[in-house]
Structure 1
Amino acid sequence: MRRGMSRREFVGGAAGLALADGEQERQELFHPSARWIWDGGVDRPVDAYRLFRQTFHLKDPPERARLRITADAEYRLFVNGAYAGRGPAPNPPAHVSVDELDVARHLRRGENVLAVVVYHLGIPSFPRVLGRAGLLAQLDLPGQRIVTDSAWRWRDAWWEPTGERFSPFREFTEHLDGRREPVGWSAPGFNDNSWKLAVELGPARTFPWLKPEMRDIPLPGHSPVGPTGLLFTCSASAAIPPKQEAARELARMPGPPLEPSRVRNPNGLADTGGGSVEVDARGAAVVFALDFGREVSGFPEILADAERDGVVIDVGFGEGLQDGRHVTVLRQNNPDCDRFTLRSGSQALRVFHHRAFRYMVVAVRGGRVRLQAPRVIESTYPVRMAGRFACSDPRLDRIWEVGRHTMRMCMDQGFMDCPWRERGQYIGDGLAEGPVALYAFGDTQLMRRFLRQAALCQPPDGLLEPAYPSDWTLWHGRRGPWRIPGYGALWVVMVENYYRSTGDRELVQELTGTMDRLMRWFERHEGPDGLLREVPEWNFIDWAQMHPQSAMACLNLQHLMALKARTELSASQAGLSGARTTRIERFEKAFEAAHWEESRGLFRDAPNVYTVHTNALALLALVRDRDRAARIVSGLSAPDLLRPESPYFDGFVLRALCRHGRHDQALGMVRQKWGRMLDSGATTFWESYGGQWSLCHAWSCEPTAMLSRDILGLEYDAPARTVRFAPNPAGLDWARGAALFPAGEVSAGWRAVDGLDATLSAPPGIRVLLDLPAPPGAVLRVDGRRRQSRQENGRLLAVIRGGQHHIEVAPGG
């Protein structure tokens, strides 16, 4: 640990400090001989890339070769020259995540080599928590063990420092200088005698890495993706701009027309068939822009054969086009641009950090080069396309698919708000991320990790940071307070939602202390009537400009949602149901007394101040009476109500409308607001309706879950082992689809013509609750036989067992 650095600063968060005081040991993940290693320099080098390698010999390659590896902060692993993986998944340093890979397929008889690129940012960021630079690995082989220790060799990598942050929240832009790359360094036979010996930092539990944990999610997938079309070609000045000016120049393109002799067959620049194009960038720059057809997220790669050293290729990225022609390389003034300096001969240069974009603009200068079409090695969380949805409205089908792709781009080694600007795991985004991951991919592992990491990162006072694991507080410094109390309350709601979807009692028990500490933070800010008063920090509700009392009214309702969720979880753990407490009843009465305006049939935030926000949250948290709900829904269209300005908060509105049976209004809202993004050419959904910020944002995905859950009508209650089939046609003629729940796949389809004609397939042994729209006196038939049912509020209710069923609701008589 660097002199003068506190343990609190180094570990970050209460969990790390508690471990420093001695937490019970678990089974060790590494042999005592395995050592953290680094270069002998400072603990936190800034924007540092290092190469590490170790050779070993095998008489025969084994059938299995278990490699455990981690790094602070990131690694890229090669075995005998072949790429083998990247990691680790972000975690606070005290709980550094350890990856396990079977590398047997890469090993051979004779000399073998493990080679690793390690990156350490060295300053606070949002994607990760600042720790201490280091590498730790152990390869277990029959009769021998290869561990990181002082016998490993290291040297600087071929990245030149740029001094230019990709965004204020992330790493620096990259300048890969191929002339400095030690060609063949990751393969056997390379002479590393000039490399320095690594310096040991200590065993696996060396501070701050006090409790290494095995990765609890799959390793990310990788697949090459090429462009779908050429946008333009042009020329530019031959002068190579300073790296920090390159993004600005690329954002101005296109420039003057390109002489045809500079690039023969320019369309070959977008040809992914493996061909190449000769580019003559002597005397003037050759510039071209590519369209990848959709948002992609991964590692851009340049495959080139240069006639001489020093050819420079600047590559800019953008999620959109300004004025229909300029790639948005400088969106929000963030320089989304990397530089490649080529050596003579063939090479493949791949950036280390994720880039997310649809459009790429490339400027080549300084000589002749043969280029293959630039590509991106797309790398995201591995998913199955398990969910399905289709209906009689193609616009809704497209919205479901775009929401799924948006979600996929925002899943990597954790959930992310967006793959471009921050790559931060924000609590609020989880309200959409968890359900969409379930309905689109059948995945609950990433949500489990999302919830559990809160416990690992909870500050001592109990209030969660709005994004974790990250250096949120350290990054904001004296600019705070910037924590979002409402996000903390909603995190408790998400724990209950996750439990309902999975029945994971073990995680709920693990998170009990975290929830209780969080709820005690809120208790300290309650007034005599139980309502929250004078809450510090950043009371973010939506991007709309809200009156402070509006934000407080919303926070009180989010706190009520948390109280109810916490109570339900406690009751479920005790085997009870339908739990209420006098505290909740007191809170509800106090809120109604303070905010209900009978003359308007709405909740007010302050005298003459009304918002959709407060009333939507009240519909979710407070209102049970059907008549009152109808009055509120009717009043939401009044012109004096402040309206949401983000798809994030409109997700609450959609959930509120569906909860109170206004599915037709919810569909109309989705068609209008999300459909408008489609009409603007969106391939992913945006952070804001204006499209001025991130164009791929997880919090905008709610319609994908809504369409599967509330329109098709599939929902699963894991503790009750019950599938609820509750279709809501809302003007649609038909819908069909499937969801992969923890109990197995459930698929359904229905037609809403002269009643309801549906099919349903659910795993045997599962209880199925039928909740079907029906006119008075309607008759229910299951598999051709009349079934006893109960009519309630325009619905037929019945219970059947899992299996394949044909279900009919027909008029009586």
Structure 2
Amino acid sequence: MQMLLLKKVSIVGIISLFAFCCLTGFSADKNIQVKKAVPVWANGREKELNLNLGFRAIFTAKTGQDVKIKISASTIYRVFINGKFIGSGPARAAHGYFRIDEYPVGQFVKEGENILAIEVAGYNINSYYTLDQPSFLLAETEINGKVVLATGSGQDFEAFQMKERLQKVERYSFQRPFSEYYRMKEGYDRWRTSSKITVEKLKLTQFPTVRLLSRNVAMPEFEIQEPIIIHSKGTVKKIIPKNYHKDRALTGIGKTLKGFTEEELEVYPVSQEIQEIVTASQEVINKTIISGEKWRLKKDEYNIYDFGTNFSGFIGTRLKCSETTRLILYFDEILIDGDVKTKQRQSDICNHIVYELQPGEYDLETLESYTFKYLKVIVLKGECQIEKIYLREFAYPDNKKAFFASSNDKLNKIFNAAKQTFRQNAVDVFMDCPSRERAGWLCDSYFSSITERELTGHSAVSYNFLENYALPERFAFLPEGMIPMCYPADHNDGNFIPNWSLWFILQVEDYARHGGDPELIARLKPRIEKLLTYFSGFENEDGLLEKLERWVFVEWSKANEFVQDVNYPTNMLYSAALASAGSLYGNTEWIKKAEDIRKTVLHQSYNGDFFVDNAVRENGKLKITGNTTEVCQYYAFFFNLATPDSHPELWKKLVYEFGPDRNDAVAYPDVFRANAFMGNYMRMDILSRYNLQSRLIMEIQDFFYPMADKTGTLWEHMQSYASCNHGFASYIGHVLYRDISGIKDIDYMNKNITIHFTDLTLEWCKGSIPVGEEVIKLEWSRSNNTIQYALQTPMGYNVKIENASSAELIPINKRINTEL
């Protein structure tokens, strides 16, 4: 993907050239609707915070019948048939809209009576993850096309409050809703499997019909992952910390940030208690777990389980308690000093689930999805025998056709980490991380959307993501024309990132150019027009954006300190967004404005050695500062304000004196280092653009192998102090396809494929990219001065071969095997 080097494309051209591409959406029915069901909830309690209800219905069926369940809910649900976990959802949608999931469950149905059990958490608080909307459940069951159960139809469903999941608990984080704390006794879940278990029924009220949308994206497969190693065991003790850390998610509850205040909580905040629990003794054993192995833990004992890879999903355990027991599941993506210490690494999240259990046997599983590699099970009271520990994955299904392998094992591990990172951050929208926020962030989504096409063969998540932005008439709490920095989300504090809305325009243009749904692109035009009208109000006498409001974000580095009054990287991005919007919608005024801004930034920002980050207004005049960052240089080259020909000396410095090995205390200490997001990703694209793949292959390993090796996922920063699983980072999978395997470009519109060979320090490489249900496969090997290659493409695609290597190309005919 090279910004502003792309061929011009307009929405008219999209419609005429390619009415609907196979990549636009997943092969789901976009018109799934219910026949009878209406939304229901406990009478008068639809706005109650963190109300957890269980719904049960009984139906008669025969084996072999076509049985389907359709469900939508506010806020989240999970569903069981005869006690068997079926799924969790729904996929997220814009305010006032709700996506409906459809489950074929014939294989789980038995002859005779069957029990459908649905649990729903109605959160009713603002977050970056789920929307603050009144609670409801809408569900119906069909057998051979006939509705046999429907919410709102007589007495089909009975409901009760699930009191074992405590209601008045603290938030998980500022960005996510409530944490999970349970008080249980044996048999708490028998209502899912037996109609003879009575429940304390609630009166249900019907609500007006809601606007339903199809899920559209593929349903997770909910695969079970078990730990592979017992890392350590030991004991804990209680202390009184000198200082307690209290995050804003606990102290900031009020009109702007909804939840329960500390005084309202049913239990002592676990975010405080966990600071009192420290390891007293530890034995590191690193023992491989034997299938069926069981573990007994007594008071103040713990085990740390290693899952081998950083996964996201629902934490489950089967255990027996011989006496009243209180245990904590404490987890994190990495270990600090050999221990789980999330509060030292990320003090703003509650990575702990508490269970208070009466004597008995339990199958426990969290309602919400969490992210970790290491799980520390601590018994604080009583004792228990753990018979099973697992994680039920909550991730986009793995497309086995998306494959990369080479003679370099480090690159292979990086690709697998990219694939794993993408899956966990694309369940329904493109997320920043599956842990702290689970938020559909812009900018991250630009990079993830490119990755989606090549790892899934579709652009279904892209469609949903953009559709969510297209649907609302306006966005509450934000200025007219501005769009949310992440969505679906509630931004009651009025915060937004103006830069991210500009990346949104680039994402729409990229989606359109790669065969996106023309109707959706047309629907987004008014949104983009209003957005650019908003920005025009901040243009100064030079036509540059000045004194933008709220959180002006360039990247996670020193660059974020130089954002006022005129920030040049932001204006470089503004120019690119105007050009993309102008090209997409045929607006020559935007294109001209883009070029004018480009020229002005070049004139003001470049000081003869480097591009300067910002200028400040002093006594009415604009004064260029000396603030210089590495990422500012990458913005200039990424958005084509500079090229190796126009700025040869700066280009040489960037290529050979910057990058992962630069000692910034010695080499250009006044040019502040770039970070992963997004400077280092821009750098990779720039090196690729100018055919420096031999250097790129070394830098990829330096940047990303330590991440892939440590967690099996890719990180938010170059260091591990924040999220170690960030969606945008999966973009490295695209880079490996493009620059290492040699599948340089796929023109889905015109069905052209470009293969590009370069000189790399590899003996062989092979890869495959799904295209809809078909696939592109390339395999090559190098010996001395020849490269032998085999290529398979979908029907109807033309191929262009580029040889930028020093070797002779020899095509061979063979069937390519890219199976693991």
Aligned match of 1:516 in 526, 529, 547?
Answer: 529
Residue of structure 2 in register with 1:669 after alignment: 699
Q: How many residues align?
A: 728
Letter in structure 1 aligned against 2:742: G
Does 1:690 pair with 2:709?
Answer: no
Shift of 1:337: 0.7
- 1:411 is the counterpart of 2:426: yes
AA in 1 matched with 2:457: G
Aligned to 2:793: 762
Whether 1:586 aligns to 2:596 is yes
**How far is the alpha carbon of 1:288 from its aligned partner?**
1.5
- The 1:330–1:40 alpha-carbon spacing in structure 2 relative to 1, beyond 3 Å, is farther
Of the three residues 583, 591, 594, the one matched with 1:568 is 583
* Other-structure match for 2:57: 54
Call closer, same or farther: CA 1:395–1:179 in 2, change over 3 Å: same
1:429 Cα deviation after fit? 0.9
Equivalent position SS for 1:254: strand
Inter-partner Cα distance in structure 2 for 1:483 and 1:257:
45
Alignment partner of 1:556 is 2:571: yes
* TM superposition shift of 1:130: 0.8
SS of the counterpart of 1:221? coil
1:174 to 157, 162, 180: 180
| 1:18 counterpart residue number | none
Letter in 2 for 1:29: Q
Partner residue of 1:254?
279
Matched, 1:722 2:752: yes
1:30 & 1:757 partners in 2: Cα distance? 55
2:100–2:215: 8 Å Cα contact kept in structure 1?
yes
Instruction: Give the match for residue 484 of structure 2.
Output: 465
Q: CA deviation at 1:365?
A: 4.4
Cα deviation, residue 237, structure 1: 5.3
Which residue pairs with 1:537 in the alignment? 550
Aligned mates of 1:86, 1:684 — CA distance in 2: 23
Identity across the alignment (%): 22
Contact 1:97 1:215 in 2 (8 A): yes
Question: Paired residue for 1:709, among 695, 719, 738?
Answer: 738
Q: 1:470 to 1:551 in 2, by over 3 A?
A: farther
On the 8 A contact 2:49/2:123 being kept in 1, the answer is yes
- Paired residues of 2:512 and 2:521 also in contact (CA < 8 A): yes
Residue 11 (structure 2) aligns with: none
Correspondence 1:273 to 2:291: yes
User: What's the counterpart of residue 10 of structure 1?
Assistant: none
Which residue does 2:467 correspond to in 1? 452
Q: Which residue of 2 aligns with 1:217?
A: 217
- 2:234 matched residue in structure 1: 234
1:648 and 1:700 in contact (8 A); partners too: no
How far off is 1:697 after superposition? 1.3
Q: Provide the rounded CA distance (Å) in 2 between the counterparts of 1:514 and 1:760.
A: 42
Find the aligned partners of 1:549 and 1:183 in 2 and give their Cα distance: 56
Structure 2 residue 609 is the aligned partner of structure 1 residue 600: yes
1:627 CA displacement: 1.2
Quick one: distance in 1 between partners of 2:759 and 2:511? 27
**2:38 maps to amino acid:** R
Structure 2 residue ranges without an equivalent (≥5):
1-29, 240-265, 615-623, 658-666
Partner residue of 1:324?
338
- Which shows bigger deviation, 33-42 or 482-491? 33-42
Residue from 632, 635, 656 that aligns with 1:617:
635
> Partners in 1 of 2:329 and 2:519 — Cα distance?
47
- Pairs within 5 Å for 1:278-427: 278-279=296-297, 281=298, 284-308=299-323, 310-328=324-342, 331-333=345-347, 334-427=349-442
Cα–Cα, structure 1 residues 238 and 590, in superposed 2: closer, same or farther, change >3 Å? closer
In the other structure, the counterpart of 1:4 is none
Instruction: Note the C-alpha offset of 1:694.
Output: 1.0
Does the 8 Å contact 2:545/2:566 carry over to 1? no
The answer (yes or no) to whether the contact 1:722–1:766 under 8 Å persists in 2 is yes
Change (3 A) 1:62 1:730: closer
Return closer, same or farther for 1:394/1:65 CA change in 2, 3 Å cut-off: closer
Alpha-carbon shift at residue 174 of structure 1 (Å): 1.3
Which residue in 2 is equivalent to 1:196? 201
Structure 2 SS opposite 1:166? coil
Q: CA RMSD in A?
A: 3.3
Partner amino acid for 1:36?
A: P
The answer for the alignment partner of 1:43 in structure 2 is 46
SS in 1 for 2:471: helix
Give the one of 741, 762, 768 matched to 2:771. 741
Cα shift at 1:633: 1.8
Q: Which structure has the higher relative contact order (CA within 8 Å, separation 6+)?
A: 2
Look up the match of 1:496. 509
- Partner deviation per Cα, 1:180-238 (whole Å, 9 max, x = no partner): 8544201243243x522432232423xxxxx2112111222211111111122223459
Do the aligned partners of 1:80 and 1:114 also contact (CA within 8 Å) in 2?
Answer: yes
Judge conservation of contact 1:36–1:136 (CA < 8 Å) in 2: yes
Q: Displacement, 1:531?
A: 2.4
Please name the residue that 1:797 is paired with.
Answer: none
Please tell me whether the aligned partners of residues 232 and 305 of structure 2 are also in contact (alpha carbons under 8 angstroms).
Answer: yes
- Whether the 8 Å contact between 1:55 and 1:188 is mirrored in structure 2 is no
Letter in 2 for 1:187: T
Task: Give the SS at the match of 1:701.
Answer: helix
Residue aligning to 2:71:
69
User: CA deviation digits over 1:307-354, x for unaligned, max 9?
Assistant: 24x222211111111123344355322231111222333220111011
Q: Residue 499 of structure 2: which of 475, 479, 486 is its match?
A: 486
- 2:98 aligned to which of 88, 96, 99: 96
- Quick one: which of 138, 141, 147 aligns to 1:139? 141
**Counterpart contact for 2:83–2:192, Cα < 8 Å:** yes
Q: Deviations over 1:85-139 (max 9, x none)?
A: 2111111341111111223333344333321110012211111111001111122
1:427 and 1:491 in contact (8 A); partners too: yes
The code of the aligned residue for 1:276 comes to K
Alignment partner, residue 538 of structure 2? 525
Cα separation, partners in 2 of 1:343 and 1:725, compared to 1, 3 Å? same
Q: State whether residues 31 and 214 of structure 2, in contact with CA within 8 Å, keep that contact through their aligned partners in structure 1.
A: no
Corresponding residue number in structure 2 for 1:78: 80
Q: Could you tell me which amino acid in structure 1 is paired with residue 102 of structure 2?
A: E
Q: Distance in 1 between matches of 2:275 and 2:183?
A: 20
What is the one-letter code of the residue matched to 2:167? Answer: P
Task: Please give the alpha-carbon distance, in whole angstroms, between the structure 1 residues aligned to 2:381 and 2:398.
Answer: 42
Contact preservation (8 Å) 1:595, 1:603: yes
Q: Deviations over 1:547-597 (max 9, x none)?
A: 2259721111111221222233235xx9xxx99943333233222222233
Amino acid at match of 1:37: V
Residues 774/288 of structure 1: CA separation in 2 closer, same or farther (3 Å cut): closer
Q: Equivalents in 1 of 2:117, 2:610: separation in Å?
A: 67
CA distances 1:384-426 after superposition (whole Å, capped 9, x unpaired): 1322223343322222222222222222222221111111111
Query: Is contact 1:739–1:745 with CA below 8 Å preserved after alignment?
Result: yes
CA 1:529–1:757: 2 relative to 1, 3 Å: farther
The counterpart of 1:506, out of the listed 519, 535, 553, is 519
**TM-score, with structure 2 as normaliser:** 0.82
Matched residue type, 1:772: N
Q: 2:425–2:431: 8 Å Cα contact kept in structure 1?
A: yes
From 680, 689, 697, the counterpart of 1:659: 689
Q: Distance in 2 between matches of 1:625 and 1:688?
A: 27
The amino acid that maps onto 1:200 is: T
1:15 maps to which residue? none
Query: By how many angstroms is 1:248 displaced?
Result: 5.0
Instruction: Check the 8 A contact 1:285/1:365 in 2, yes or no.
Output: yes
Asked if the contact 2:32–2:213 (Cα under 8 Å) also holds between the matched residues in 1, the reply is: no
SS in structure 1 at match of 2:512: helix
Distance 1:509 1:395, change over 3 A: same
